Each structure stands twice: as structure tokens, then as C-alpha cells.
């Protein structure tokens, strides 16, 4: 697994605007990883110790539904962040994730990033805000999907 | 103002409730529509509805979803049956004005029908444009229109990305909102023109996402829909603030549409 630099991270949308010293510290927790299509990234209920910033490819988030198997709830593309359960106790994945198309991503060591945030609260606050934004975006998207984005006013429901 | 008789020469089921009719004039033809324009389609003895043109050449096609008495009758029309057309009416996407630019064409649900002529026009004149990205969102794979054409569009140089809200077993495409696809469009947002068509909420969110990625709001166009009756700006049924959608629309700049979309009374 290749190491990443602060400059590598600066190019990712997720890290836009982050101060250089913070990027340098986070880079110590990041490694470049690859997943072939079909490889499971993590299992539902597994221990959550990482998050990924997707550089290329597609990852599907899924949930095992009895009688139906893994049902895909969302796919994530390049520049998206995969995984936030590493940040919150009990640090277990609520969903599973599988590479749909070959994926290259930066994987971050979750416990190490938690430690970096605890020792530097400014970095920790910055990361919490960034993950809060990701979660807000996903929550909004989920609410809009509940609304049915594609329903026309005259359409029988 | 009288409807011009057209004969249904072919009918293709797109989804469970949507059909595409291929139409040929019985006598004189209406003028060739520009991509984005609509006609008033008349089911004789039942009524008339505005329907976007889904192909302008070499044949005229219109794609209809059965949501009421008139659209239901048009969807039940079979080859050989005669219907009436008035038009074409309204503004087009302005595909020719965007020559030299990258193009993003984003469609939600049946919104792909009015965008299809713009896609076909751009692909027919592929060298006139930079990169062309077609983004399509639908509830389920079964709700996708023109599914058998998507590979052809790819082969002719378009990036085509499809996302659904609810995947069927075996679906390997994207799952989620069309807004999430905006970042996947392989275009330079700063030099792109974007055309967005679908339900209003979909257009609002997609246009916001495209503008957020750097496409100038002045180069984003949306297609508005209101209750159109006369088609020529006389009756006022389709008024939306200062606009009469049949005459000043349906395609309008996103900048003009934004303040109108935010008014609850409209």
C-alpha cells in the first residue's frame, strides 16, 4: 500500500481548505488501496476501523434483507467518502460495502485519526465538521428519495 | 389553430405506462420542431394535451405517459389511428447556441423524452461539441426510457450515466439521487452548458448541484411545465409569474426559473 502526502489529500474535494499541518498529520494515517470489482470492502456489523476517500470507481452500500440478500441502498463514486461508523461508538458498520467497479481509494486508519483529533482538538473539530457535512448531504439525499424526486404533479401515486 | 391530422405509424412501449408514438402527416406537416419544443396532441373526441417532442428527425416521435383521460387515450392509440397535432410551440434547448461547449444533459424520469432530441442533435454533430455527458435518474430500472438506445449514445461519443432509487436484482449501475451523478460528468464545468429536465424538484436540485460544481447558472436551462391549453400565449392557463410557459418556455434559463420555483403560490 502506497503512502499519501499532504499534497495528495489537498487534491481531494473532501479536504478542500484544510490547513497544511492538518493535512500532513492526516497523511500519516492514509494509504492508497485498490479493490477489484466484486470485492467486499466491509461487512455489515463488522468492526469499523477505517474510512476511505474514493479516488476512482464505484462502491455500493448494502444491507442484508432476509429473503432478498444484500440490497443496495446507495452507490458512491469518485471523491465520495466511504464510512463514518469508525467515528462513533460502538464502531460497527451499519451497512456493508462492495466494490461495483474497480476502486482506487485512500484508506485512513480510523483509530489513529481519532487519536490525532483527540490530541489536536482543532483538527478533530475540522474533521467532525467535514463528516457532519457528508452525513448532512446523505441525510438530505435520503429524505429527497423518500419524497420521490421523479413524481410529476399529475401522476397518480 | 386547427389540429393537423397525423397518423400513428409505429408504437413502442417504453415502460408500463409510457409509450412512444411515431407520427407521419396525413397531408400537410407541421414545421419541424426544435429540440425542447412541444406540440398540442389531440385525441379526437377526448381532448388535447401538451406533449414534448422526443424525436424531431428523420421521423417525428412523441413520448406520452398515461396519467389522465387524454394521455391515456393517446397511449392506447394503435398504428393506423389518426390524431391531431398543433405546433410546434415554445422555446427549445438552444443546442446550436452551445456549439464549442461541453454539454451536460440531465434527465429525471420522463424528462428524458424532451431531452432526447437535444442528445440526438448533439451526437449527430458530434464534432461541434466538446464532451457530452448524459445523466439519467429514474425510480427503478423498469422506469428507464429509451434503454435500448443508451449503448448507441455511448458508442457515438456520449458519457451516459444512469442512477435509480430502487435497484432491481442484478442491477449493477448507480443507486441514489441524480444529483450525485453531477460530479461524475466528465466535462469541464466552467465551459459546459447544461440542460435539465424532469419534475421541478429534481431540476432545482440538479441545477444547484451543477452550479455548485462550477457551471455558470446562466448556461443552465430547465424545462418548466404548467397547464398549457392554447399553446400560443393567449389563454393564460400556463402563467408562471411573468412567464407564459407555452410561449416563453418551456425551456427557460435556470436563472429565470430560480425565483419562480421558490414561490409557493406559483
Query: Which residues of chain B make contact with A72, given a CB cutoff of 8 A?
Result: 167, 171, 175
pLDDT digits (tens, 9 = 90+) for B49-76: 999 999 999 999 999 999 999 999 999 9
B109–A150 C-beta distance less than 8 A: yes
3-state SS, residue B233: coil
Same domain, yes or no: B110 and B218 = yes
pLDDT digits (tens, 9 = 90+) for B175-221: 999 998 888 899 999 999 999 999 888 999 999 999 999 999 999 99
Domain end call among B41, B61, B89: B89
Please state the φ and ψ torsions of residue B88, each to the nearest 5 degrees: -75, 155
Contact B135, B153 (CB under 8 A): no
Domain end call among B40, B70, B89: B89
Same domain, yes or no: B27 and B137 = no
- Judged against a pLDDT cut of 80, whether residue B101 lies above it is answered with yes
> If contacts are CB pairs under 8 Å, which of residues 91-120 in chain B contact chain A?
108-110
Q: Which residue of A has its CA nearest to B176?
A: A74
Residue A156 confidence (pLDDT): 52
3-state SS, residue B150: helix
What distance in Å separates residue A118's CA from the closest CA in chain B?
32
Report mean pLDDT in 10-residue bins for chain A, 157 residues: 91 95 97 96 96 96 90 93 96 96 97 97 97 93 85 62
* Residue B188, domain CATH: 3.40.50.80
Q: Which helix H or strand E contains A147, and what residues bound it?
A: helix A121-147
pLDDT digits (tens, 9 = 90+) for B124-155: 999 999 999 999 999 999 999 999 999 999 99
Same domain, yes or no: B103 and B217 = yes
**What whole-number distance in Å separates Cα of residue A84 and Cα of residue B22?**
51
Report how many domains make up chain B. 2
C-alpha distances in Å from residue A42, one per residue of A30, A144, B170: 17, 27, 20
A156–B201 C-beta distance less than 8 A: no
Burial label, A143 (beta-carbon count in 10 A; 0-12, 13-18, 19+) = exposed
Q: What is the percent of chain B with per-residue pLDDT over 90, rounded to a whole number?
A: 74
- Judged against a pLDDT cut of 60, whether residue B80 lies above it is answered with yes
B175–A73 C-beta distance less than 8 A: yes
Kindly indicate the confidence band of residue B123, based on its pLDDT and cuts at 50, 70 and 90.
very high
Domain end call among B37, B67, B89: B89
A150–B143 C-beta distance less than 8 A: yes
Residue B87 confidence (pLDDT): 87
CA A148 to chain centre: 24
Domain membership flag for residue B61: yes
Same domain, yes or no: B43 and B154 = no
> Which tops the pLDDT comparison, B230 or B49?
B49
Domain membership flag for residue B243: no
Domain membership flag for residue B120: yes
Same domain, yes or no: B108 and B79 = no
Contact B101, B205 (CB under 8 A): no
Sorted by sequence, the CB contacts under 8 Å of residue A143 that are 6+ apart come out as none
* Residue B8, domain CATH: 2.40.30.10
Q: Does A67 touch chain B (CB under 8 A)?
A: no
> Which of A97, A64, A102 has its CA nearest to residue A82?
A97
> If contacts are CB pairs under 8 Å, which of residues 30-59 in chain A contact chain B?
58
> Which of A97, A81, A112, A93 has its CA nearest to residue A47?
A93
Question: Of B139, B175, B178, which has the smallest distance from its Cβ to A75's Cβ?
Answer: B175
What distance in Å separates residue A127's CA from the closest CA in chain B?
22
Burial label, A2 (beta-carbon count in 10 A; 0-12, 13-18, 19+) = exposed
Question: Of A80, A100, A149, which has the smallest distance from its Cβ to B199's Cβ?
Answer: A149
Domain membership flag for residue B188: yes
Domains annotated for chain A, with CATH where assigned, are 2-147 (2.60.120.10)
Take residue A36 and report the three cell numbers written for it: 477489484
Residue B230 assigned ligand-binding role: yes
Q: Which domain holds residue B201?
A: 95-223
Same domain, yes or no: B10 and B70 = yes
Q: What is the mean pLDDT of chain B?
A: 92
Domain membership flag for residue B169: yes
> Which of A151, A153, A154 has its CA nearest to residue B72?
A154
> Which of B262, B128, B145 has its CA nearest to residue B208?
B262
Residue B183 confidence (pLDDT): 85
3-state SS, residue B85: strand
Residue B238 assigned ligand-binding role: yes
Question: Of A141, A148, A155, which has the smallest distance from its Cβ to B180's Cβ?
Answer: A141
Residue B246 assigned ligand-binding role: yes
Q: Which helix H or strand E contains A73, and what residues bound it?
A: strand A69-76
Same domain, yes or no: B148 and B77 = no
Domain membership flag for residue B232: no
Same domain, yes or no: B155 and B182 = yes
Contact B52, B74 (CB under 8 A): no
Same domain, yes or no: B109 and B183 = yes
Residue A154 confidence (pLDDT): 61
Residue B52 confidence (pLDDT): 92
What distance in Å separates residue B26's CA from the closest CA in chain A?
31
Residue B249 confidence (pLDDT): 78
Q: Which helix H or strand E contains A134, and what residues bound it?
A: helix A121-147
What was the ipTM of the complex prediction? 0.82
Amino acid at each position: 500500500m502506497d503512502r499519501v502526502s499532504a499534497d495528495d489529500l489537498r487534491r481531494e474535494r473532501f479536504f478542500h481548505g484544510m490547513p497544511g499541518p492538518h493535512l500532513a498529520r492526516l497523511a500519516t494515517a492514509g494509504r492508497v488501496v485498490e479493490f477489484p470489482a466484486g470485492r467486499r470492502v466491509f461487512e455489515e456489523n463488522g468492526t469499523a476501523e477505517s474510512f476511505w476517500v474514493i479516488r476512482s470507481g464505484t462502491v455500493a452500500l448494502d444491507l442484508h434483507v432476509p429473503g432478498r440478500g444484500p440490497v443496495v441502498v446507495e452507490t458512491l463514486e469518485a471523491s465520495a467518502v466511504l464510512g463514518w461508523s469508525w467515528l462513533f461508538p460502538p464502531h460497527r458498520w451499519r451497512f456493508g460495502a462492495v466494490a461495483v467497479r474497480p476502486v482506487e481509494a485512500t484508506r485512513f486508519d480510523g483509530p489513529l485519526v481519532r487519536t490525532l483529533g483527540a490530541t489536536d482538538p482543532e483538527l478533530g473539530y475540522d474533521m467532525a465538521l467535514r463528516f457532519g457535512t457528508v452525513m448532512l448531504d446523505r441525510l438530505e439525499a435520503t429524505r429527497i428519495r423518500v419524497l420521490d424526486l421523479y413524481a410529476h404533479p399529475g401522476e397518480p401515486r | 389553430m386547427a389540429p393537423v391530422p397525423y397518423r400513428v405509424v409505429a408504437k413502442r412501449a417504453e415502460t408500463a405506462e409510457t409509450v412512444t408514438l411515431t407520427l407521419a402527416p396525413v397531408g400537410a406537416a407541421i414545421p419541424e420542431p426544435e429540440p425542447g419544443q412541444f406540440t398540442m396532441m389531440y385525441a379526437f373526441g377526448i381532448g388535447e394535451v401538451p406533449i414534448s417532442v422526443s424525436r424531431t428527425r428523420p421521423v417525428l416521435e412523441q413520448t406520452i405517459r398515461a396519467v389522465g383521460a387524454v394521455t391515456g387515450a393517446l397511449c392506447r392509440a394503435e398504428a393506423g389511428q389518426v390524431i391531431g397535432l398543433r405546433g410546434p410551440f415554445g422555446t427549445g434547448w438552444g443546442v446550436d447556441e452551445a456549439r464549442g461547449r461541453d454539454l451536460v444533459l440531465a434527465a429525471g424520469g420522463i424528462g428524458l423524452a424532451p431531452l432526447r432530441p437535444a442528445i440526438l442533435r448533439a451526437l449527430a454533430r458530434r464534432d461541434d461539441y466538446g464532451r457530452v455527458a448524459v445523466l439519467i435518474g429514474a425510480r427503478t430500472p423498469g422506469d428507464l426510457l429509451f434503454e435500448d438506445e443508451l449503448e448507441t449514445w455511448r458508442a457515438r461519443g456520449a458519457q451516459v450515466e444512469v442512477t435509480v432509487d430502487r435497484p432491481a436484482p442484478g442491477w449493477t449501475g448507480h443507486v441514489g439521487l441524480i444529483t450525485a451523478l453531477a460530479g461524475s460528468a466528465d466535462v469541464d464545468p466552467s465551459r459546459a452548458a447544461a440542460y435539465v429536465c424532469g419534475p421541478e424538484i429534481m431540476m432545482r436540485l440538479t441545477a444547484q448541484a451543477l452550479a455548485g460544481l462550477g457551471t455558470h447558472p446562466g448556461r443552465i436551462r430547465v424545462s418548466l411545465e404548467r397547464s398549457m391549453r392554447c399553446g400560443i400565449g393567449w389563454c393564460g392557463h400556463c402563467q408562471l409569474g411573468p412567464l407564459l410557459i407555452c410561449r416563453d418556455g418551456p425551456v427557460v434559463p435556470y436563472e429565470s426559473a430560480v425565483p419562480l420555483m421558490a414561490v409557493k403560490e406559483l
